């Protein structure tokens, strides 16, 4: 089995989450050797023909997935809908992380592509890395710098996917 973990990320927080998910997916499950897993930015994916399953993620900005992720989902909608697919979003920041609601376009995307799961994980904010426009937005919503990513939660979600992929097809 060949699995693609693909992502859009502006400041690398989501890219590292994709790497962590891939590490878990590669592990053997119940004695079966793990799948081959490629991790690629959405812009580096050519075709999905070689992949049996896809995990697609993006960070959320202003309530939406990044444009490259939305474009990737649109341009590959038929191939994605034909494969086991999981979506993840990286966004909420602060303690407790906010906003709590999943982005509406992600909910719609998960439905239209028949995704087997869609999860939003808390993200990371480092104001020093941001452009001027982004800094102004962050000031406006008074978001606090920090790395709010919960690696145990991310790895547990990936382990659920690994178990689903290892299960017999009709279960
Ligand atoms: C300008 C700006 C706008 C943001 N808007 C949202 C948002 O609407 N919803 C959300 O959940 N997170 C929002 N975030 C938080 C980011 O999604 C979060 O920091 C994410 O983990 C960044 O991932 P990346 O480094 O992979 O791009 C925003 C961050 C910035 C800097």
63-110 per-position pLDDT tens digit: 999 999 999 999 999 999 999 999 999 999 998 999 998 998 999 999
Name the closest-CA residue to atom 29, ligand 1: 61
How far is ligand 1, taken at its centre, from the CA of residue 87, in Å?
16
- For the chain, the domains span 2-166
**Neighbouring residues of 7: CB distance < 8 A, sequence distance ≥ 6:** 14, 15, 17, 18, 39, 41, 42, 56, 57, 58, 69
Looking at the domain 2-166, which fold is it? Rossmann fold (3.40.50)
* 134 Cα–ligand 1 center, Å: 9
Q: Do 64 and 32 meet the contact criterion of CB atoms below 8 Å apart? A: no
Over 50: is that where the pLDDT of 171 sits?
no
Predicted structure pTM score: 0.96
């Amino acid at each position: 089995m060949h699995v693609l973990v693909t992502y859009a990320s502006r400041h690398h927080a989501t890219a590292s989450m994709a790497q962590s998910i891939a590490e878990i997916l590669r592990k053997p499950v119940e004695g079966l050797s793990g799948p081959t897993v490629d991790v690629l930015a959405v812009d580096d994916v050519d075709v999905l023909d070689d992949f049996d399953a896809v995990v697609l993620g993006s960070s959320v900005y202003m309530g939406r997935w990044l444009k490259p992720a939305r474009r990737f989902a649109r341009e590959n909608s038929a191939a994605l809908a034909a494969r086991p697919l999981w979506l993840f979003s990286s966004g909420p920041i602060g303690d407790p992380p906010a906003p709590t609601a999943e982005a509406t376009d992600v909910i719609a995307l998960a439905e239209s592509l028949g995704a087997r799961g869609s999860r939003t994980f808390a993200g990371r904010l480092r104001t020093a890395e941001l452009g001027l426009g982004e800094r102004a937005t962050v000031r406006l919503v008074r978001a606090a710098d920090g790395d709010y990513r919960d690696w145990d939660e991310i790895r547990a979600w990936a382990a659920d996917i690994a178990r689903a992929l290892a299960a017999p097809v009709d279960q």
